[in-house]
Amino acid sequence: MDAIKRYFRSPAAVAGLILLLIVIAMAISAGLLYPRDPLALAGRPLIWPFSNPRFLLGTDNSGRDIAAQIFYGARISLLIGGLATAIAILIGILVGAFAGYYGGTIDNILMRITEAFQTLPNFVLLLVLVAVFGSTLTTVTIAVGVVSWPAPARLTRAEFLSLRNREFVQAGRTLGMRDIQLILGEILPNALPPVIVYASVVMAVAILLESALAFLRLSDPNVASWGNLIGLGRDVLRVQWYVSAIPGIAILVTVLAVSLVGQGLNDALNPRLKGR
């Protein structure tokens, strides 16, 4: 397990992992530390952070505990980020695998569709999807996943193109294995590592996309999400800027953690490419 050793030799990767674990711990402990509904009124509105021991991070414009919303927001960000990434990677692998394996017309058609998705700005497509399907937690998660698959698809396709005529695949073909067996059983496991590493980029972008959507009040308003809180804080930005500032730092730290872990994995799995 040289890769694991290499991972822990990089201070940035270890720092990223620690930050990510902290965010995950926040998400898990939210219910324990703050058993009450984070969106329920808790005290006087607009209490400054560190001025009242009951509300360590203060309260927002309507008197809801900011700390509770930060903890519950970690759940939402990780949930949406994780699920949307899973959706994007799944679609990407499917499209990329078929396009790369079969080539020809199938490749042409699939790549045209991929290109169409890449030509349309992903946030604009996200707006269209939200306008059509509404903004509940489920639809937003699926929408973020649906706008994020083209890059993993291209990556998978490139891997398949370089692997499909290797000797081990030809050997499988002579053994009479079916296409689907070759794709899933032989090529995919070899094509997977770079795609998995790329998932960290997709997840970072997905978290940012969801928070931007929530900031514009186009995401689910009934859950405590960091983007929602920043959007709310905008109304009191002039004096109580902390309402927006605190959740923004939470987003920054989470996205930073995910990117650092991805970068660390990349360097650990492809030691020759280190430093790129």
Partner 1 sequence: MRILSLAGRRLAASIPTLILILIGVFLLLQFAPGDTVDALMAQMGGGDAATARELRHFYGLDLSIPVRLADYLWHLVRLDLGFSSIYGKPVATVILERLPPTILLMTASLSFAFFFGLLFGVIAARGVNKWPDTLISTLGLIFYATPSFWFGLMAIVVFSIYLQWLPAGGFEDIGTVRSGIWRIVDIAKHLVLPSLTLGLIFLAIYLRIMRASMLEVLNLDYVRTARAKGLDETGVIVRHVLRNALLPMVTLIGLQAGTMLGGSVVVESVFSLPGLGRLAYESVVQRDLNTLLGIVFVSALLVIAVNFIVDLVYARLDPRIAVDG
Residue 83 touching partner 1 (CB under 8 A): no
Min CB(241)–partner 1 separation in Å: 5
Size of interface with partner 1, in residues (CB under 8 A): 50
Residue 8 touching partner 1 (CB under 8 A): no
Which of 217, 192, 198 lies closest to 88, judged by CA? 198
Q: Which of 70, 203, 218, 232 is close enough to bind partner 1 by CB under 8 A? A: 218
Q: Which of 47, 144, 230, 261 is close enough to bind partner 1 by CB under 8 A? A: 230
Q: What is the rounded distance in angstroms from the CA atom of residue 46 to the CA atom of residue 63?
A: 6
Tokens matching residue 110: 């699939």
Residue 106 touching partner 1 (CB under 8 A): no
Tokens matching residue 62: 């309507």
Binding segment for partner 1 (CB under 8 A), chosen from 24-32, 37-45, 51-59, 237-245, is 237-245
Following CA atoms 68, 74, 75, 79 in sequence, which dihedral angle do they give, to the nearest 10 degrees? Answer: 160
- Outline where DSSP puts E strands in 187-265: none
Tokens matching residue 161: 């193109």
Q: Convert 177-187 to b/e letters by CB count within 10 Å (16 or more is b).
A: eeeeebbeebb
Task: Decide: 254 and 74 in contact? Cβ < 8 Å.
Answer: yes
Q: What is the rounded distance in angstroms from the CA atom of residue 233 to the CA atom of residue 64?
A: 12
Following CA atoms 266, 21, 228, 58 in sequence, which dihedral angle do they give, to the nearest 10 degrees? Answer: -140
Q: Which of 105, 119, 165, 174 is close enough to bind partner 1 by CB under 8 A? A: 119
Q: Which of 17, 42, 129, 265 is close enough to bind partner 1 by CB under 8 A? A: 129
Question: Which of 147, 183 has the CB closer to partner 1?
Answer: 147
Q: What is the rounded distance in angstroms from the CA atom of residue 46 to the CA atom of residue 44?
A: 7
Min CB(27)–partner 1 separation in Å: 18
Name, in order, each residue with C-beta under 8 angstroms of 214's C-beta and a sequence gap of 6 or more.
Answer: 220, 225, 226, 227, 228, 230, 231
Which of 116, 198, 103 lies closest to 152, judged by CA? 198
Question: Which of 187, 218 has the CB closer to partner 1?
Answer: 218
Question: Which of 100, 262 has the CB closer to partner 1?
Answer: 262
Q: Which of 37, 252, 271, 274 is close enough to bind partner 1 by CB under 8 A? A: 252
x-or-dash pattern for partner 1, window 168-207, by CB under 8 A?
------------------------------------x---
Return the DSSP state at 272. G
Q: Which of 255, 261, 265, 268 is close enough to bind partner 1 by CB under 8 A? A: 255
Residue 238 touching partner 1 (CB under 8 A): yes
Q: Among residue numbers 12 through 31, which ones bind partner 1 (CB under 8 A)?
A: 12
Residue 276 touching partner 1 (CB under 8 A): yes
Count of all residues that appear for the chain in the document = 276
Residue 95 touching partner 1 (CB under 8 A): no
Report helix, strand or coil for 237. Answer: coil
By CB under 8 A, name the binding residues for partner 1: 12, 112-113, 115-116, 118-134, 204, 208, 211-212, 215-216, 218, 227, 230, 233-234, 237-238, 241, 244-245, 247-248, 251-256, 259-260, 275-276
